[in-house]
């Protein structure tokens, strides 16, 4: 199998300290996973309970230092939470720290609760994202920008030290408008499992939307990579992942590692370059258990 | 002088015409300063100086990322931000950064925060450049309650936090040490009101006389506030050229501390006359492989003085 397989690290499923986060990351690296992902959120409020994760960029930097070979990235960085030029600088710096292993996942953000709590505007997110994406992409690829937009104004901005050339930019969005504005430029597109019901049928239908957006803008649908997150059930699954209260989580992919590997092959057949596995539970043990799939994938 | 604390300013900058320090270089400074007896490894929050002039332009690696990696890679030295700018990030998010750095550092984090400076680097990055101190005041009204009570609800002119918790907290809990910069009466007043440590520096001279007026002003504000002066640490940032190490770099024209070992030690000891409890050393050198070991000798001598 050539499809890359990544793991999302714990977020708010349960309290997780840095030591355990680091251990899960190292086990994922040692057992052969290709990438590690950190959600970018500030808080969740479900059923009267408030939970929060650690801050994404400081955590990514620490993970970049602690690991040596595995790719790392936010899944996905909310462009609303930072000035876009600052986000570009954070990305360049984490990429430097990791020795060139950053994948920059970007999205507009969706969790209205945290936007309201932190005072970030929730309106016109697609338009704001369009400008932010343009700024970030330009700074990472060209190093400078002078921009007078509706939401952001940057005068003679220079990103110094320059970002490494070739930091992959991955867009996590399925809105037609955002797709049309970003597909001309992205290296990778990413979908979240709940958008397509965590099934191959659902994903095939979703891909039709992506293909159609490509046709609209004249981009070859095979010219960028596609990845999705998938919800996986491991032994000891607790279900009802905290953040899933926004939507009912679809059924997780389950079975023993051989069965899971077979299902992953079916997803690969749809043309996926990578999957990010959201594992329930997410622990050192579950990652070790899950690495059993590699035996059935010829890796 | 055994109680004086010493910090290292990590100059994570790309000076014009000189090689960009890579992370492996910064990591080398981290280990070297930890071994040399520095108490704190400070990471600055700068973007790009002299942005409009390609010959003079100085770019900086990003503070939070470097601090996160330094926190993960160190074991005994404190990691601090010197100082996170109120202009650069949302205040609630900044507090979450502090809690996360405290967690990664295992409780060894010092949260330095300040108003930031309006100017070309802010404009280049799209940050506001007016009402800097007012914005800072608003930010503190969010950050301090988050740090000390774990929650805040505040609607200010520049910043908003609605029913916002700070969770999770790291090992320091609600006791992360807070260092606030202040050179003028308003910012000094805020440091006296909220901080564990007051922070200052000058760009004109590193010698104690350059800090006398500031100290007088601080002591007046302390007296007016009724706060016990002994309860507020005093941190002074100073460029220093170590003996035998070529002076160079962007801080060399700020009248750095210099001279023989004995002369330097005498000058540093005299900072106690100003009630200084911490000295943060900014290298007036770019050869840190030589500067750091030379500083180890100085730190030891000052401690024994």
Per-residue confidence (pLDDT) for residue B87, from 0 to 100: 98
Q: Which long-range contacts (CB under 8 A, 24 or more apart) does A284-290 make?
A: A284/A20, A284/A23, A284/A24, A284/A27, A285/A236, A286/A234, A286/A235, A286/A236, A287/A7, A287/A24, A287/A27, A287/A28, A287/A31, A287/A33, A288/A27, A288/A31, A289/A234, A289/A235, A289/A257, A290/A7, A290/A232, A290/A234, A290/A257, A290/A260
Residue-level pLDDT at B57 = 94
Q: B98 near B111, Cβ under 8 Å?
A: yes
Which CATH code, of 3.20.20.30, 3.40.50.1100, 3.90.1750.10, 3.50.50.60, is assigned to B5-304?
Answer: 3.20.20.30
Q: Where are the domains of chain B?
A: 5-304
CB nearest A118 (choices: B66, B67, B161): B161
* Residue A207 near residue A188, CB atoms below 8 Å: no
B120:A155 CB<8 A: yes
Predicted confidence at residue A243, as pLDDT, reads 52
| High-pLDDT (> 70) share of chain A, % | 97
Confidence check: pLDDT of B37 > 80: yes
Lowest mean pLDDT, pick from A173-177, A195-199, B74-78? A173-177
A254-287 residue pLDDT tens: 999 999 999 999 999 999 999 999 999 999 999 9
Q: What domains can be seen in chain A, in order of their start residue? A: 4-296 (3.20.20.30)
Q: What is the pLDDT of residue A137?
A: 98
**Which pLDDT does position A103 carry in this prediction?**
98
Q: Could you tell me which residues are beta bridge partners of residue A5?
A: A275
Give the pLDDT score at B202. Answer: 86
Q: What is the mean pLDDT of chain A?
A: 95
**A contact residues 30-69, partner B, Cβ 8 Å cutoff:** 42-43, 50-55, 57-66
Q: Residue B109: its pLDDT value, please?
A: 98
A73 touches chain B (CB under 8 A): no
With contact defined as beta carbons under 8 Å apart, do B101 and B42 qualify? no
Query: What is the predicted pLDDT for the residue at A174?
Result: 87
pLDDT band at A240 (very low <50, low <70, confident <90, very high): low
- The mean pLDDT of chain B is 96
* pLDDT band of B165, cuts 50, 70, 90: very high
Spell out which residues of chain A touch residue B93, defining contact as CB-CB under 8 Å: 42, 55, 81-82, 118
Are the CB atoms for A149 and A131 separated by under 8 Å? yes
Q: Write down the pLDDT at residue A246.
A: 54
Task: Check if B185 contacts A (Cβ < 8 Å).
Answer: no
Chain B closest CA to A145's CA: distance in Å?
A: 9
A247 pLDDT band, cuts 50/70/90, is low
Predicted local confidence at residue B1, as pLDDT: 78
Cβ-based burial of A164 (10 A; exposed 0-12, middle 13-18, buried ≥19): middle
Give the tokens for residue A55: 């801050």
Nearest to B92 by CA among A63, A116, A214, A289: A116
Nearest CA of chain A to the CA of B142: how many Å?
Answer: 10
State the smallest CA–CA distance between residue B23 and chain A in angstroms.
5
Q: Tell me if ipTM is over 0.95.
A: yes
- Confidence at residue B16, expressed as pLDDT on a 0 to 100 scale: 82
What average pLDDT does range A197-202 have in this prediction?
A: 97
pLDDT per residue as tens digits for the range A24-77: 999 999 999 999 999 999 999 987 889 999 999 999 999 999 999 999 999 999
B141 and A CB contact within 8 Å: no
Nearest to A250 by CA among A202, A206, A198: A198
Burial zone of B268 (CB within 10 Å; 0-12 exposed, 13-18 middle, 19+ buried): buried
- Chain B, residues 229-288, CB within 8 A of chain A, namely none
Cα–Cα dist B188/B182, whole Å: 4
């Amino acid at each position: 199998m050539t499809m890359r397989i990544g793991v999302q690290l714990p977020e708010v499923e349960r309290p997780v300290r840095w030591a355990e986060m680091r251990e899960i990351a190292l086990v994922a690296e040692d057992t052969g996973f290709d990438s590690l992902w950190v959600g970018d959120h500030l808080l969740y409020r479900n059923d009267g309970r408030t939970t929060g994760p650690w801050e994404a960029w400081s955590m990514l930097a620490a993970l970049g230092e602690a690991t040596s070979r595995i790719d790392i990235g936010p899944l996905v960085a909310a462009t609303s939470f930072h000035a876009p030029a600052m986000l570009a600088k954070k990305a360049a710096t984490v990429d430097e720290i990791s020795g060139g292993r950053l994948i920059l996942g970007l999205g507009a953000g969706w969790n209205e609760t945290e936007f309201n709590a932190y005072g970030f505007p929730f309106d016109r997110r697609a338009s704001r994202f369009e400008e932010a994406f343009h700024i970030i992409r330009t700074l990472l690829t060209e190093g400078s920008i002078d921009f007078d937009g509706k939401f952001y104004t940057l005068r003679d901005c220079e990103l110094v030290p320059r970002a490494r050339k070739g930091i992959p930019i991955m867009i996590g969005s399925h809105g037609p408008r955002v797709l049309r504005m970003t597909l001309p430029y992205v290296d990778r597109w990413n979908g979240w499992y709940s958008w397509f019901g965590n099934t191959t049928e659902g994903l095939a239908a979703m891909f039709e939307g992506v293909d159609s957006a490509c046709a609209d803008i004249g981009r070859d649908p095979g010219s960028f990579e596609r990845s999705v997150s998938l919800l996986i059930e491991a032994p000891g699954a607790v279900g009802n992942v905290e953040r899933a209260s926004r939507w009912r989580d679809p059924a997780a992919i389950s079975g023993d590692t051989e069965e899971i590997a077979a299902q992953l092959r079916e997803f690969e057949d749809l043309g996926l370059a990578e999957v990010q596995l959201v594992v329930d539970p997410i622990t050192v043990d579950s990652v070790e258990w899950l690495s059993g799939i590699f035996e059935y994938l010829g890796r | 002088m055994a109680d004086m604390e010493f910090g290292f300013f990590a100059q994570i900058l790309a000076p014009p015409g000189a090689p960009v320090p890579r992370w492996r270089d910064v990591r080398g400074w981290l280990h070297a300063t930890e071994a040399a007896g520095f108490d704190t490894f400070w990471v600055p929050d700068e973007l790009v100086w002299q942005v409009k002039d390609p010959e003079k332009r100085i770019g900086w690696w990003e503070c939070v990322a470097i601090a996160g990696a330094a926190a993960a890679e160190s074991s005994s030295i404190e990691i601090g931000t010197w100082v996170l700018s109120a202009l650069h990030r949302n205040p609630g998010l900044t507090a979450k950064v502090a809690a996360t750095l405290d967690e990664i550092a295992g409780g060894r984090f010092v949260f330095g925060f300040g108003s930031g400076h309006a100017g070309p680097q802010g404009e280049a990055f799209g940050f506001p450049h007016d009402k800097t101190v007012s914005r800072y005041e608003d930010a503190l009204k969010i950050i301090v309650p988050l740090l000390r009570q774990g929650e805040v609800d505040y609607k200010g002119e520049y910043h908003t936090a609605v029913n916002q918790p700070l969770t999770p907290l790291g090992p320091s809990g609600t006791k992360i040490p807070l260092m606030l910069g202040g050179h003028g009466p308003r910012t000094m007043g805020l440091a006296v009101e909220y901080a564990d440590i007051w922070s200052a520096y000058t760009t004109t001279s590193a010698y104690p006389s350059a800090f006398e007026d500031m100290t007088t002003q601080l002591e007046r504000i302390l007296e007016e506030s009724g706060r016990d002066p002994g309860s507020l640490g005093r941190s002074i940032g100073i460029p220093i050229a170590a003996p035998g190490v070529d002076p160079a770099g962007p801080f060399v024209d700020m009248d750095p501390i210099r001279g023989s070992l004995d002369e330097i030690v005498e000058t540093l000891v005299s900072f106690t006359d100003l009630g200084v409890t911490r000295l943060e050393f900014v290298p007036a050198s770019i050869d840190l492989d030589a500067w750091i070991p030379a500083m180890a000798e100085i730190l030891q001598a000052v401690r024994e003085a």
